[in-house]
Structure 1
Amino acid sequence: MTRRLSRMAAFATAAAMTCLSVPASAGAARDAVTDTLSRRLFPLFDALGRSPGKHEALARGPGIAALLAARAQRAAACAADAGCIAQARVWTAAEAEAIARAVAAIDGLPAFDDGAAAQARREIEGVNAIVRTYALAALPAYPDIDGAGTIDPLERQARLQAADWLSHAPRDGSAQAFDPSIDYALALLDVSDRTDAIGFEPLAGGANAAAVARAAALDWSRYRYTALIVTGVGPEVDGMPLSPFGKYHLRLAANRFAAGEAPFLIVTGGRAHPRTTRFAEAEEMRRALIERYGIPADAILIEPYARHTTTNLRNAARLLMAIGAPLERDALIVCNPHQSAAIADPRFVARNDRELGYQPGQVGARLTPTELPFRPSVRSARVDPRDPLDP
């Protein structure tokens, strides 16, 4: 009880210190976690933050200075009301559109397949999604596995206060000089311990290093398929590393790999089921393939971020691109008959359009009840922080 009262007193003190900003440090430190998260979620705004001339050019765009000043005034009017500050960090549709138009006029930004303006819209919508979910208690698209879950009100208040302070504490390479909302969103994820999106970076290293090295010298023409994509089916029991269906997928995949028609197995599944599980499904599938089935480590690639069947395929496509697999060739999806039928169903196409905004690749007709060909699309490379745990 004493600790709870002391925390309440601390918040009362903070509320009394209306509009006092966090003192600036003599220099701006580089935060390895936030840096990596920023590059992963917000590649466009991260590039702006690392190029002061570019974010200054953006601020000089038509009407942008007034827009940013209005946003700053909106937050300042909140004084010490953490919930009000969170709401002030949300971008309106008109603000987002103005920024997208201004971004399109800036040269030298990273290339995006559908243009910098479209990427700016996605990243601003990503900021909004994070703020609404982790600060304003809005339900995410998949509340059973995403978001912050049930939080004590005092803990929520502490997270909001810390995120606000962090968004103003200088960070080398940040976009804070443009608008604090990007660092505010990053801080919300950090203080909520939901930095899932960077748990396995760089993905070409670690467990994937041997397979990536092998791919560099591979003669792809020797194989019918570029890879076998083994989709995830997360467990719903706390402490369970692999679901019953996941174990079945591994048997299917090991048998299919023995045919010699693909050089790699891509096992895909993140830390999704149940909420905040410590197990990444792809890691556990890789371990079982090596220990139970004797598959060589340099034949297995893990994709440890996907949280849904849509992103199983999107992220597998990204991995195939990363290792230089020929995209005009098919991979083969291997999974249980129920999931295979769902992937082949036209409703899966509609779901991809709704959740991703495109098709991660072309799914062919089922070859067997457990196998479907898949031709990956370069659109899968789009980064979309509207799903901040797997952008």
Structure 2
Amino acid sequence: MLGPRPTVAGPAETNHSPLTAPGATRAMEAVLERVLEDRLRQARETDAVFARETADRLAAFVRRGGKRLRTAFVWCGWRAAGGSGDTGAVLRTGAALELLQACALIHDDVMDGSPLRRGAPALHVDFARDHPAGRTGGSTESFGTSAAVLAGDLALAWADDLLTETALTSPYGARLHEEWRAMRTEMVAGQYRDLRAQASGSSGAEEALTIAVLKSARYTVARPLALGAALAGADARTVGALRAAGRCAGLAFQLRDDLLGAFGDPALTGKPADEDLRSRKLTPLLAAAVRLAEATGDRDAAAVLAPGADARPGHTVDRMRAALERTGARAEVEARIADLAATGLRHFEATGAAPGVRREFAALVERASGLAPRPAEELV
């Protein structure tokens, strides 16, 4: 017995037209909308209150979007491995990644106590606002946290269901599921290492790098590339080149995110700009600043960046930003982003992908890493 018949596969998703990465992302949005409608219908059949207060809220969060980079990287991996023809499985895999990302963001916001996400209240904050405290009593914060954890679990269930349905209809389903399974474990491992580093007050560069690789580099770029390659039945050489490209490009993405977490504009990022600094979140940026402060004898920078230092708002965050600049950590991370992005492009070229696919991958890496676009003649 092969299991339940897929609920979202079918002729409406079959697409034999040659797509670009942006086109694949737009097509994935249509697939994702059909998936959400199907899941919401099932939720309403299960329980009206649950559907209205949890499933609808989760669907609204997913629809608020994000960069949708993972779908584009799945498409690049598929095309680099020689994928062509029907893109249905690629688009469904991208939609599953977006649902998994919703789970990761919701749970991450709970653990970090983040108030904002995608320019709106984080889900645990939104749940807490609707807590009927006058009738039931209890902590609004506790209710919001618990409800958000359940919503994240629901997003994970939807993601797993969709990926499993896709794998069951693909000739390379076993390879697809193997990549997915490994990615989920890496994501949780990275999240735990992040949580552990916060609790222990770690500022080590090696630990910061481990967290960045597990939590973001593999999950954001390397595994999506490999998922796409799996759907095309890629050989070991191609998969190896894509993994190397993804690790470099993914680290560049995470380092840019670290810089935005310290210096970004909340109106553009959709989340607080000083949150990582106030919590002394261990990032390669912070680890570099601590190392440089100690090496140059900058006692003021070392003191303000140290775990357990006074975390009062305002002037303390400003002093931390100044320390990141003065020690040279910001400039060092900017240079590393450029090096990683360039190395990632060289690894991707080793796949033998067509020039057009290489150009699209380069554009995605530039977008993810926040680098200025390169001249077209350099991307041929």
Work out whether the TM-score is over 0.5.
Answer: no
Larger Rg: 1
| Structure with the largest fraction of strand | 1
Task: Return the structure number with greater helix share.
Answer: 2
TM-score (norm 1): 0.28
TM-score, length basis structure 2: 0.29
